[in-house]
Amino acid sequence: MKLLELRNNRYFLGALLLLGFIGLSFLLYGNSIKGDWVHDDIFFSARGELRSVDYLPKIWLEPYLPDNISAGAYRPFTIFTIALNFILFGESPISFHITSILLNGIAAFLVFLAVYRLFRKKILAAFTAAFFSLLPIHTQAVDLIKAREEILAAIFILLSWLVFIRATKGEKFSPWLIFLSSFLCFLGFLSKEYAVMAPFVILIVYKIKENPAWQKFISAGLLFLPAYMVYFLLRHAVLGGYAFGNDPVNFALNPLAHANAITAFFTAFKILFIYVGKTFVPVNLSATYGYNHLTLVTNLFQSPEAVFGILIAAAFLFLIFNKKFRSSPVGVGAMIFLVSYFIFSKFVFKNGGEIMAEHWMYTPSIGLGLVAGEGFDWLYRRKKIIGIAVFCAVIAVYSLILIKRNEVWLSKKSLAQSMLKGAPDSFMGYIDMAEVLLREGDIPKAREIAEKGMSIDDKYVPLISVMGDIAFAEKKYSEAENYYKEALEKGPTTPVNYSSFGKFYYNTGQYGKAADIFRPYIYNAAHPGLDEVGMFLTSLVKVKQYQESIDVIEKFFGRSTKDPRIRFLLAASYYKRGEISEAQKYFDWSNSLSSKEKLKLINEF
């Protein structure tokens, strides 16, 4: 009797379904758990401050990229969850991958709930959610730690929608529940910018499906305004003039940003075709679409992809505006896709970051999943066996591609190999592979690979910096100096260029030049690396800038620091200034050396 009651309990069934989708997520992405920090994951792995509980409150009032505010990114909730991962589970990327896989399972479960609440069709919801779960284009969103923002935004959008559906059920709506829906959207905004489109999706579908009175519709919509107001006030407070986009996009990453309006418009349709095409037919998936891999469309009639993109856009618009289809799953799916896709579509915001990235398709693919789900449901209703057979064949193929694709993101080397194979005309794979080979000690091969990249684009600053690293490893110091100098001249606002050039001078014993190069980086970077701060301090002591060394230590460490290296530098700075008694306060930097031995080290330093 109790077992029967459990089977009829919707909460119990919901919990089982949730566990099922989480289990499916681990089944599909389990081989990615052992993956390392790769590609843009360095945004987090290199930030030591994210390991501190004391830093958690500060996250909410700083840019997503503290040293690149011009990117116009503000995603504090995502950063907050990343910091929690570090604090609770340590440095290993394993916990980050497990978290992403878990969140992906939750997102698929919410897709099921949202579709079911909208259309009251369990089979449709099951097909849609399963299809969404199995899309190989999602591998970048789930496997790349940095892309957690995509999954978080999707989860909050879906939660907001579910609450909104409940709030507007019946003659009267619940203002408090809509306000909760608005708050969930707000958390989505704080996870990834494109979530600002969510209320438009929710409200348009509400109007199409329920056709509420205009007064009721407008009243519900107005309750989302506080979320927008607070969010954009925060963005402006944190990003200032970059709050609404003013990013000087690099040509190599997004040549579309430098194209004329007609070329950009035609290319945007080509990009639309590629996104939709690779969602349904996941071949030639790529981790990079930078310069020379995705060519721009200067003549519409010479680009079949752009023409097909126009046809796809026209078909989706027809489904949205046609009275017969607009409230159906295919109409709603088309609307979800187009509205959520629009913000990064390049039709308007062509300057936004890279020209395209597969992880951006995570939320828009909910709409495409609903279109596909309706197709499978239609086939299932007419020929059950054929419908199930076709669906099983699709998921079998998708599963094999997805699980194999996970291997691409396991290491920097596997990712570089994939980029070289899938995008041999783009420079990005050459940069990563050159860095890998340099780390492995294969310097001649590293130079060969890097020079191939330079033949594609010799103006991309990170590649120029890699050439400097290679020349330094070859002990061609004059050549290395020229490369680092060129990188700094072409990227004067990029802190890492100061860091690389400063390290070069430091490692070649040119401490005065090292101090001069490190100085703007140390003073202007939001979170300068502790290694760089240490090199700067050492350089200051070497060139007898003792007071500045003491001031920098007070700023970054405080005089009570327990770090033995920093206490040694404090002792050396005071001793060489002639303040012997003050210096002796820091002679505890080593317990194994006598005072005589410590003085000898300081005098020789």
The size of the chain, in residues, is 605
- Residue 7: band (very low, low, confident or very high) from pLDDT cuts 50, 70, 90: low
Residue type, 583: A
DSSP 343: T
382 and 447 belong to one structural domain: no
599, part of any domain: no
For 332-388, the pLDDT digits (tens) are 999 999 988 887 776 666 666 677 788 989 999 999 999 999 999 999 999 899 989
346, part of any domain: yes
Q: Show the domain range for 433.
A: 427-492
d(CA 161, CA 328): 17
Cα–Cα distances in angstroms (integers) from residue 411 to residues 41, 144, 263, 407, 441, in the given order: 11, 11, 36, 8, 17
370, part of any domain: yes
396 and 442 belong to one structural domain: no
Query: How many Å separate Cα 297 from the centre of its chain?
Result: 27
The answer to whether 199 and 185 are in contact (CB under 8 A) is yes
d(CA 360, CA 138): 9
350 and 486 belong to one structural domain: no
The answer to whether 190 and 75 are in contact (CB under 8 A) is yes
356 and 476 belong to one structural domain: no
187, part of any domain: yes
103, part of any domain: yes
466 and 336 belong to one structural domain: no
Residue 246: the pLDDT is 62
Nearest to 231 by CA among 177, 192, 269: 192
209 and 324 belong to one structural domain: yes
Residue 316: the pLDDT is 94
Higher pLDDT, 289 or 105: 105
454 and 355 belong to one structural domain: no
Handedness of CA 144, 154, 69, 234 (dihedral sign): negative
Distant-in-sequence, close-in-space partners of 407: CB < 8 Å, separation ≥ 6: 31, 414
Residue 352: the pLDDT is 61
Percentages of the chain per state (helix, strand, coil), in multiples of 5: 75, 0, 25
Higher pLDDT, 104 or 573: 104
The answer to whether 356 and 426 are in contact (CB under 8 A) is no
377 and 465 belong to one structural domain: no
Only one residue has tokens 């910018």, namely 193
pLDDT > 50? residue 563: yes
Of 471, 492, 513, which residue sits at a domain end? Answer: 492
The answer to whether 412 and 432 are in contact (CB under 8 A) is yes
The structural domain count of the chain equals 2
Residue 42: the pLDDT is 83
SS (HEC) of 241-309: HHCCCCCCCCCCCCHHHHCCHHHHHHHHHHHHHHHHHHHHCCCCCCCCCCCCCCCCCCCHHHCHHHHHH
Of 461, 492, 523, which residue sits at a domain end? Answer: 492
Q: What is the dihedral of CA 60, 62, 64, 65, to 10 degrees?
A: -160
d(CA 266, CA 347): 9
Please tell me the pTM assigned to this model. 0.90
402 and 431 belong to one structural domain: no
The mean per-residue pLDDT over the stretch 551-572 comes to 86
d(CA 112, CA 14): 10
DSSP 355: S
Nearest to 270 by CA among 303, 293, 313: 303
d(CA 235, CA 196): 12
DSSP 423: -
Residue 395: the pLDDT is 94
Of 379, 407, 435, which residue sits at a domain end? Answer: 407
521, part of any domain: no
pLDDT > 50? residue 1: no
Distant-in-sequence, close-in-space partners of 19: CB < 8 Å, separation ≥ 6: none
d(CA 428, CA 491): 17
Nearest to 103 by CA among 11, 182, 37, 29: 29
Cα–Cα distances in angstroms (integers) from residue 198 to residues 137, 221, 374, in the given order: 21, 12, 22
438 and 320 belong to one structural domain: no
Q: Which CATH number characterizes residue 436's domain?
A: 1.25.40.10
For 16-51, the pLDDT digits (tens) are 899 999 999 999 999 999 999 998 888 888 888 888
Residue 446 tokens read as: 């590293």
Q: What is the dihedral of CA 285, 287, 293, 298, to 10 degrees?
A: 80
536, part of any domain: no
The answer to whether 550 and 573 are in contact (CB under 8 A) is yes
Residue 251: the pLDDT is 58
The mean per-residue pLDDT over the stretch 47-72 comes to 87
167 and 260 belong to one structural domain: yes
User: In angstroms, what is the C-alpha Rg of the chain?
Assistant: 28
For 428-459, the pLDDT digits (tens) are 889 999 999 999 999 999 999 999 988 888 88
139, part of any domain: yes
305 and 337 belong to one structural domain: yes
Higher pLDDT, 452 or 560: 452
- Residue 604: band (very low, low, confident or very high) from pLDDT cuts 50, 70, 90: confident
For 109-130, the pLDDT digits (tens) are 999 999 999 999 999 999 999 9
